Chain A
């Protein structure tokens, strides 16, 4: 695995500007910050708080030779594969969930050797982002030792200089770009989320460029009224994109639940048609609309209201 040294990663951060300016832009302008060959980290986990508006904007551009990392990857990974954008997946798990079975498009590419899957444990993914966020080249851990995952990845161990104990040396990951979806952000990039935070904060701090979409763009005063909810400060964020329902058809904690029927339709199409089914999904749901708002409009107010009601029941509303 190619590793960036602490000093190199830090030098980039030191040199980067931190102007307190209006960072609002369209998803298209934000996605222009991503280049062919980049490592793109996608926030959220599985079908929770996935930055789907940003993912769709990236899919629309048909970038090439991307690496995508995520804590647990859902079917968005198959959309990148089917559109020829993805060379390599770095995660601990790929699929939607048991009811939908194995991911056929993922299997198609990985089993043929047309895409590479670097499988880490879930904690190791978290430690990789955390080491990147901390500005250290690795973090020692008791996990992954003895498994075949460690051997496949070439995971190294380190002897503790104080106790002599052997520990896994989980290497830092510094993605080129992190895509994060949040509940609220102000124009400067102060970002707030409700509920569980997945690996988003570490992923963003580890990344070179951070693009945040938010359900609502709020005033700096509203951010300051609840500072404990702030997950990222403005100086760790490069772009802010307004994206109501920006995780749909995935869930956004407290606001709307996941659209299982949508997953089921996708899974049925890819089970029957393989990559062609995933490509058709992109053509219909991504390319077929002028923007993400069109996709949301196509879902319809009734469906969105149902998903909001699902969230409301769980929130005691």
Chain B
């Protein structure tokens, strides 16, 4: 499994969290791809909803959308409607999962995709919320998938674009966000959740071969550690084959991505972006999702 990229590891791990006969509101990129993997394995009746007004998309392997508002995102859909309608289904309580990426997330699950620095004097003005604020506010359970790095896992975000548990405890409910809870955070190192009382992020599982110390080292705040830490099962050959076929198309499965006019495909999948510019660029997605090899756009 040495050839498994961080993206593949995260997407496969996250895909296992999605149960059959549920509805998932997925951001584009890794959340969408993980949802599609789940549909091909344990959750054939999982309905994937995208903010562009798309219900029940199936995706054409090798033709993944960059935006959730484009034709490729609508491939095989059961219903096409408008954007506001999609979010009102979420507000009504139809969506079991909201599935997001996060360029910057804090110990309470708050996400920032608005600004580095202050709003008055922005160092970098980021693209903005897109649908992420609504997804985290309105879906029944929110899942987050992102790479595990100190600059992503910060003690407090500069700006709460999308509210998690705010300042912990019951502060989310007190702010009027009666619905929605944050479930799991999946990374290339670990599986995390939020401790019920304090609502602080808590380590629950480790990817194969990863230690608690390594996770702590890559986390920019004091991480709670659960009592029974499970070791996560590495991606199976079947899971990887499904993922790669979706990403690359049937002919290219298991090989390098074929040449394409689509920008971004030249970026090596295993490389960890380390400059601030890259960090900011990854928030150039409405729902804050990222993926090095998976084209991504606003949620």
Contacts and interface: CB of A to CB of B under 8 A. Distances in A.
Interface of A: 45-48, 71-72, 91-103, 106-107, 110-111, 117, 119-124, 126-127, 129-130, 141-149, 152, 157, 165-168, 195-202, 251, 253-254, 257-258, 260-261, 263-264, 267, 310-311, 313-315
Nearest to B299: A122
Given A47-B70, A144-B134, 4 more contacts: A45-B52, A48-B69, A97-B67, A314-B75
A122 B297 contact: no
A193 B78 CA distance: 18
Given A97-B297, A121-B133, A143-B91, A48 B84 contact: no
B70 A106 contact: no
Contact of A46 (B67, B119, B179, B280): B67
By DSSP majority rule, is chain A's interface helix, strand, loop, or mixed?
Answer: mixed
Nearest to B167: A146
Task: Point out which of A98, A106, A264 has the most chain B C-beta atoms below 10 A from its C-beta.
Answer: A98
Contacts of B88: 123
A92 B135 CA distance: 13
14 contacts: A45-B52, A91-B128, A94-B127, A98-B29, A99-B262, A102-B124, A103-B127, A122-B131, A122-B299, A142-B176, A144-B133, A152-B119, A257-B70, A267-B263
Task: Point out which of B84, B87, B137 has the most chain A C-beta atoms below 10 A from its C-beta.
Answer: B84
- Interface residues on chain B, size class: 35 or more
B22 interface: no
A177 B129 CA distance: 25
Nearest to A122: B131
A142 B91 contact: yes
B129 A119 contact: yes
Contacts of B51: 122
A123 B139 CA distance: 13
Given A48-B69, A93-B286, A100-B284, A141 B91 contact: yes
Contact of A196 (B74, B126, B171, B264): B74
Interface stretch (B3-11, B12-20, B31-39, B155-163): B155-163
Given A72-B130, A92-B286, A145 B281 contact: no
Contacts of B131: 92, 121-123
A43 B131 CA distance: 17
Contacts of A198: 52-53, 69, 82-83
